[in-house]
Amino acid sequence: MKDIFTDFLFYLQYERNLSSNTFLSYRKDLLDFVNFLEKNNINFVDFNRKIWQKYLENLYSKYTPRSISRKISAIRTFFKFLTREGYIKKNYANFISNPKIPQYLPSFLEEDEILKILNLPDPTTPLGRRNQAILESLYAGGFRVSELVTLNLEDVDLKRGLIRCFGKGNKERIVPIGEYAKESLEKYLEVRTYFRPKENEKALFLNKKGRRISRQGIWLIINKYKKILNLPKKVSPHTFRHSFATHLLSRGADIRIVQELLGHSNISSTQIYTHITSNRLHEVYKRSHPLSRKIR
């Protein structure tokens, strides 16, 4: 089974050309499944509903519905591969269904909250300039944190106000940024050498050791400013992305344009933000319109 699993990983990496993060997620999810089969001395050809039920019980005892859904998707892809390559004659994963995932509206910052957090870094210090450039870029481009940390110097075109990034599935997209983000990036690039970049280091954003900043590093920066503002809500790099989409739609942007800017392959992923904006409009209407409640 380990040899077949290795073949599948090769298929994901070189035929499907998955991004490194997606590939690692698939690898981890499938390794758990393969280990479960080996531990219980089960072969792929013996897979059936009873075995699946046993594995599903194991999943529900450890993971959330969203994580389970992701693992099931990986297993489905695995069995399609097994069938296609002739390792098994029948796709035994056809009967597998995903758990129902609760729909949570994503958390976002109000426009005044965004402005407050963007103004917190000290632009007179190299660290402050870097942090401000990071926050401005997150909000201006709606980037995922994984996209932001993989940006290289060559991906930024400040003259035209464009940034090239690579999203899920290694899909390339070009994202425009505004004047504030351009200015903060220009100021950061003036002091980038302060971080003593290692030889041939192409990363746009650097840590104190002169290497590419990590996702955890971005989280720490955001958490630092969240504590200063004493915001009661959860704030993460993705909160900036949610705020980016929400503010665009609430100001009249076309949902298809927002979809392109976010790099969503499916419009349904973008439509969740219309629920947020419609809810906000309803709340504002009830709070502001003199006849929104019965008073006569």
- Specify which of 104-113, 194-203, 263-272 reaches the highest per-range mean pLDDT: 194-203
Average of per-residue pLDDT across 262-287: 73
pLDDT at 19: 75
Give the tens place of pLDDT for each residue, 235-245. Answer: 999 999 999 99
Q: Please state, in angstroms and rounded to a whole number, the distance separating the CA atoms of residues 150 and 173.
A: 13
Active site residue 241: yes
The answer on pLDDT for 68 being more than 60 is: yes
264 has catalytic annotation: yes
Check 27, 76, 211, 264 and give the catalytic one.
264
Q: Which of 17-21, 64-68, 96-100, 128-132 has the lowest mean pLDDT?
A: 96-100
Residue 238 annotated to the active site: yes
CB of 110 closer than 8 Å to CB of 116: no
3-state secondary structure of 176: strand
Catalytic residue among 71, 129, 144, 182: 144
What does the pLDDT look like over 8-28, one tens digit per residue? 888 888 888 777 778 888 888
144 carries an active-site annotation: yes
Over residues 250-259, the pLDDT tens digits come to 888 888 999 9
Task: Give the whole-number percent of the chain exceeding pLDDT 70.
Answer: 90
Mean pLDDT, the chain, rounded, equals: 87
Tell me if residue 129 is catalytic: no
The reported pLDDT for the residue numbered 35 is 86
What tokens does 190 get?
């003036």
**pTM attached to this predicted model:** 0.68
Distance CA 89, CA 74 (A): 19
Distances in Å between the Cα of 29 and the Cα atoms of 7, 34, 70, 262 are 16, 9, 8, 26
Structural domains of the chain in order of their starting residue, each with its CATH number: 2-84 (1.10.150.130), 111-287 (1.10.443.10)
Note whether 80 and 94 are within 8 A (CB): no
Q: Is the pLDDT of residue 45 over 90?
A: no
pLDDT at 169 exceeding the cut of 80: no
Q: Where are the alpha helices (DSSP H) in the chain?
A: 2-10, 20-39, 49-60, 65-84, 111-118, 126-141, 145-149, 179-190, 215-229, 237-250, 255-262, 267-288
The residue annotated as part of the active site, out of 192, 241, 242, 247, is 241
Active-site residue, from 76, 168, 173, 211: 168
Active site residue 247: no
Whether the predicted pLDDT of 294 surpasses 70: no
Residue 164 DSSP label: E
